[in-house]
């Protein structure tokens, strides 16, 4: 059985005077995997990412939360440091995550329906699930 490459199998690799030899890592990179469909890997990762579902507060929890907001509104809690638990909706899919933030409430913005803390952080009142006075 004759091989088609018998005439060149023992020859040295060609070299060129105007081009330096390519490094082994650069040659290997030519054969590395590539993403045939751009963005497909990102889409798969996004689909696999878990989000939390928003918890619907019970009536007594809503009442207690409203009492604390009223205390803040009437300035009795404005100088106290609080820990606020709130829901952050996900930008890309249904659900989101729960976050906590500690700080001192500066004011309640009735127009935008937000709590504004001393450091400028804003939290939508509709997303708040708990307020703890520290």
**Domain residue spans in the chain?**
59-133
Q: Which of 2-6, 53-57, 67-71, 98-102 has the highest mean pLDDT?
A: 98-102
Q: What is the mean pLDDT of residues 26-32?
A: 79
Which DSSP symbol is given to 30?
A: T
Q: What is the mean pLDDT of residues 116-121?
A: 91
Q: Which CATH architecture has domain 59-133?
A: Roll (2.30)
pLDDT at res. 52: 87
Q: Say if CB 111 and CB 100 are below 8 A apart.
A: no
Six-digit token pair at 45? 């990762």
Coarse DSSP helix, strand, coil percentages of the chain, rounded to the nearest 5 percent? 25, 30, 45
């Amino acid at each position: 059985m004759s091989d088609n490459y018998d005439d060149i199998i023992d020859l040295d690799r060609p070299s060129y005077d105007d081009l330096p030899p390519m490094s082994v890592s650069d040659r290997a990179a030519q054969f590395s995997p590539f993403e045939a469909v751009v963005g497909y890997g990102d889409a798969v990762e996004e689909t696999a990412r878990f989000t939390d579902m928003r918890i619907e507060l019970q009536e007594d929890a809503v009442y207690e939360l409203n009492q604390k907001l009223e205390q803040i509104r009437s300035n009795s809690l404005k100088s106290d440091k609080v820990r606020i638990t709130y829901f952050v909706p996900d930008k890309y899919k249904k659900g989101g995550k729960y976050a906590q933030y500690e700080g001192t409430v500066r004011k309640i913005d009735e127009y935008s329906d937000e709590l504004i803390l001393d450091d400028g952080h804003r939290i939508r009142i509709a997303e708040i699930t708990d307020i703890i006075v520290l």
